[in-house]
């Protein structure tokens, strides 16, 4: 729950000009599927530019898709960043986009302009308030964006 609150706060604080309007660019479609506890459909490498992330939940639990980019100044691994407090994690990442879906549903897609760098797609949903976030069950996907 703490990590989910962290990401929601990041969404509010860091939602910046990463979003691209439909008329401004042709977006590459990235079809993401959530299966308990895995994110599928995200290639290991994408090209710089506008992307449209779709999100379908084929799992039995609620899932979310959060995409963040690692700051170039960070020398920490994604696992190290995930273990930090919200305040410390904010120093290492830039929020890119978010959407969520209940089991069997398709979420509203989001559009984002991806710069070159290292990215993480992750789910921080929990099965109940006492369980670990899905990220700690392996529900994250690292990917790279290049020119």
> What are 133's two structure tokens?
């976030």
Is 134 within the bounds of a domain? no
Query: CB neighbours (10 Å) of residue 17?
Result: 6
Question: pLDDT of 56-93, one tens digit each?
Answer: 999 999 999 999 999 999 999 999 999 998 899 999 99
Average pLDDT for 38-62 = 97
Is 120 within the bounds of a domain? yes
For tokens 């904010």, the residue is 90
Is 36 within the bounds of a domain? yes
Is 137 within the bounds of a domain? no
State the Cα–Cα distance between residues 133 and 12, nearest whole angstrom: 20
Q: Structure pTM?
A: 0.82
User: Which is more confident, 70 or 7?
Assistant: 70
Average pLDDT for 103-122 = 97
Total number of domains constituting the chain: 1
Cα 35 to its chain centre, rounded Å, is: 15
pLDDT at 4: 54
Residue 96 lies in domain? 2-18+30-125
């Amino acid at each position: 729950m703490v990590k989910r609150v962290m990401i929601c706060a990041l969404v509010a604080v860091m939602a910046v000009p990463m979003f691209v309007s439909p008329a401004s660019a042709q977006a590459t479609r990235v079809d993401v599927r959530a299966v308990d506890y895995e994110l599928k459909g995200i290639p290991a490498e994408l090209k710089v530019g506008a992307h449209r992330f779709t999100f379908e939940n084929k799992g039995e639990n609620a899932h979310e898709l959060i995409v963040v980019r690692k700051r170039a100044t960070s020398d920490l691994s994604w696992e190290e960043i995930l273990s930090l407090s919200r305040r410390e994690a904010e120093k290492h990442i830039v929020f890119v986009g978010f959407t969520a879906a209940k089991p069997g549903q398709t979420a509203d897609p989001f559009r984002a302009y991806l710069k070159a760098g290292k990215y993480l797609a992750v789910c921080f949903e929990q099965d109940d308030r006492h369980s670990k976030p899905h990220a700690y069950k392996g529900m994250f996907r690292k990917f790279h964006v290049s020119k």
